[in-house]
Every structure is written in structure tokens, then in C-alpha cells.
Amino acid sequence: MATSAGQLRRTFCRTVALFCATMLVSVTAQAQPDPLPSWTDAAAKRVIVAFVTETTTAGRPGFVPEAERIATFDQDGTLWVEKPMYSQVMYCLDRVPAVVREKPELANVEPFKTVLSGDRAAIAGLPMEDLEKILAATLTGMPVDVFKAEAAKWLDTARDPRWKRPYTDLTYLPMQELMRYLRANGYKTYIVTGGGQDFVRVYAERVYGIPPEQVVGTAGATKYGYDKDGKPFLTKEPKLLLNDNDAGKPEGIHLMIGRRPVAAFGNSTGDRQMLEYTWAGSGPRLAMLVLHDDAVREYAYGPAQGLAESKVGTFTQALYDEAVRSGWTVISMKNDWKRIFSFER
């Protein structure tokens, strides 16, 4: 993406506007309880508070009408832990034995053979195409209501291998605070995830306070039909409607929301286009990237490992450079977050 003089000027004007708003915040915010107590009093937090103050204070030049206050959040790695594997992949891997019981011929076919072997290293090394095969095999033909019930049951019982807790416990407390803070100021918060839309909708309301209609994700077609009593139901089909990654994120936002977000949050190259699209709108914008640089409390990967990694789907050096050049804000888990999980003391 080229950087024009117009863009640089715009970034400068925004920076000045946000600086003025920061001054305003420091004068007026004293009486309010801190909406972001898990954030250290550093740049990232100040950028957030200045942005919210600027866009929601009537009379400010950057004021945004409430109907247009749309904030979009990537999920895996932005709102909760994405290592060692996306939890939805874990869910599908756990379903493989049941699928093979129904279709025994799969037992000796890759990638099902590897999954059944239980060899964790080999499973973790499966390429994306194999994971997609597993997703298709484990989900196709399921009635959507059965899928919802099964996924909910799995989420109740499955445990993350490191913390031995339900996956839904592994959300980042500072991001939960940020979503609540935005909502308290009239923002509609959306999840825009590369993960499966139906999967995330199962728990998003309970875990994040985000209703199903505000979850945009990778989505397959469904098929309408009738059961033996004539009652209509929908089943999951193998056809992909939206691959909600990379350019698919702004495309999915247009399809499902129909407005350009004012604020967007991500953590990997899959979020790049969503951040660019959000940032390219007029008026104040917030674009933030979560950097995983805390190997002790969570994980360190991407630029935190010497800023040299270039693997697609992670926080690459090129993305880091674009963030700096564009004026986006990088959130350091290590330095910006006092607490990462609500279960920490």
C-alpha cells in the first residue's frame, strides 16, 4: 500500500486532534471511575480514552453520531488466547473419533489417521488444507441446532492444555474492559473473526456480551428443509460463503454490517485489511494491534521474537511497519496490560 502526502497530513491532523482530546480528558476524567483498570497508564490506554472522548462528546470536531459508532474486534489472539491452536480447531479434532465411527473408511486416510494417532506434535503440524478437510467432514450435514448444542456442550467440558481451564475463561480482561467501555459510550461492538461464525455465536453473548447478530465470521451455506413431521430446519452445507480473513474482513463487514467501522482491533496479517479499511474513513479513527510479547503470562510470537517472523496469519514485520507508518497503535501485552486474565490475582 502506497503512502501519499494526503495520508500523512491526515495522520498528522488526527494526532493533533487526539492530543487536544487527551488534554480534555485529563481535565474532565478525574471524577469518573477508571473504565480501564487493567491497563497501565501508558500510550495505548491514553489513545483509547482520547478517541472515545473525542468521538462521543457533543460539539467536538470528531464527534460521531451514535448510529455510526461501530467497533470491530478480531477474536483469536485479540480477545482470547489462540495458542497452541484455535479452539474451534480443537473442537473439530475432538469430533473426529465420532465422525470416523460413522465412516470407518476414514480411519486410514490422512489427515484423520494423524488426528486419531493422538500425536500432538504431528497434529499441531497439520497444514491449513488438512484442517479445512477436517472442518468440512466434521460439520457438513449437521442441523444448525444440533451443532449449537454440541458446541455448547464441548465448550463446557473442554480444557485448555496449559491453564486447564475452559477456553472461554481465556479471554483478555483488558479487552473485555475496552468493549464494555465502548458500549457504555454508545458503540456497537462486533466480533469480525476468521473463526467459524456459528461457533463463535454459541458463546459470544455469554462471554463477551456480544449477541449473535453482531458476530461476523467465516460462514458456510446452510440448507433449508423439513423433518419427517414437516417442521423446517437448517443444515450446514460444505459451500463456503465468506472466508472472513484478510480482504474477506472488510468484504464481510460490508455484507453483514454495511457501515465502515470507526474503530478496529486485531493481532495478525489477517486483520490488516480491516484496519486499513477502518483507518481510511474520514474523521477520528482507532486502529490497534495486540502484540503477543509476554512469554511468561501468555505467549510471545510474531515481532516479539526479534521482529523477524514473516509467517502469514501472524503479526509480521511488514504489518508492524505498516502500523507505525499509518499511525496505528500497537498494544504490548507485557507493558500495557496489568492483568491479562480475570482469574489472575
Question: Minimum distance from CB of 263 to a copy of itself (Å)?
Answer: 15
Question: Minimum distance from CB of 191 to a copy of itself (Å)?
Answer: 11
Residue 277 found at the interface with a copy of itself (CB under 8 A): yes
Q: Which three cell numbers stand for residue 203?
A: 458463546
| Type and span of the H or E element at 192 | strand 188-196
Residue 212 found at the interface with a copy of itself (CB under 8 A): yes
Residue closer to a copy of itself (CB basis): 45 or 201: 201
Alpha helix positions (H), the chain: 5-28, 43-56, 87-102, 112-117, 120-124, 128-139, 144-157, 173-184, 197-208, 248-256, 272-279, 317-326, 333-336
Per-residue x/- track, 232-271, a copy of itself (CB under 8 A)? xxx------xx----x--xx--xxxxxx------------
Question: Minimum distance from CB of 140 to a copy of itself (Å)?
Answer: 15
Tell which one of 29, 99, 116, 280 touches a copy of itself (CB under 8 A).
280
Residue 312 found at the interface with a copy of itself (CB under 8 A): no
Residue 130 found at the interface with a copy of itself (CB under 8 A): no
Residue 224 found at the interface with a copy of itself (CB under 8 A): yes
Exposed, middle or buried by CB within 10 Å (0-12, 13-18, 19+), for 38? buried
Q: From residue 135, how far is each of 105, 111, 139, 331, 335 by CA, in Å?
A: 17, 11, 6, 32, 37
β-partners of residue 71 are 189, 263
Q: Which stretch binds a copy of itself (CB under 8 A): 76-84, 220-228, 296-304, 332-340?
A: 220-228
Residue closer to a copy of itself (CB basis): 101 or 254: 254
Residue 162 found at the interface with a copy of itself (CB under 8 A): no
Exposed, middle or buried by CB within 10 Å (0-12, 13-18, 19+), for 305? middle
Residue closer to a copy of itself (CB basis): 126 or 215: 215
Q: From residue 285, how far is each of 88, 148, 212, 261 by CA, in Å?
A: 31, 35, 25, 9
Can you tell me the distance from the alpha carbon of 289 to that of 139, in angstroms, rounded to the nearest whole number? 32
Residue 65 found at the interface with a copy of itself (CB under 8 A): no
Question: Minimum distance from CB of 338 to a copy of itself (Å)?
Answer: 32
Residue closer to a copy of itself (CB basis): 68 or 130: 68
Residue closer to a copy of itself (CB basis): 22 or 72: 72
Residue closer to a copy of itself (CB basis): 57 or 243: 243
Helix, strand or coil, per DSSP, at residue 74 = coil
Q: From residue 232, how far is each of 57, 151, 227, 235 by CA, in Å?
A: 48, 21, 6, 10
Can you tell me the distance from the alpha carbon of 212 to that of 21, in angstroms, rounded to the nearest whole number? 34
Tell which one of 61, 125, 141, 211 touches a copy of itself (CB under 8 A).
211
What's the CA dihedral at 52, 342, 245, 181 to 10 degrees? -10
Q: Which residues bind a copy of itself (CB under 8 A)?
A: 1-4, 6-7, 67, 70, 144, 188, 197-198, 201, 205, 211-213, 215, 219, 221-224, 226, 229-234, 241-242, 247, 250-251, 254-259, 273, 276-277, 280
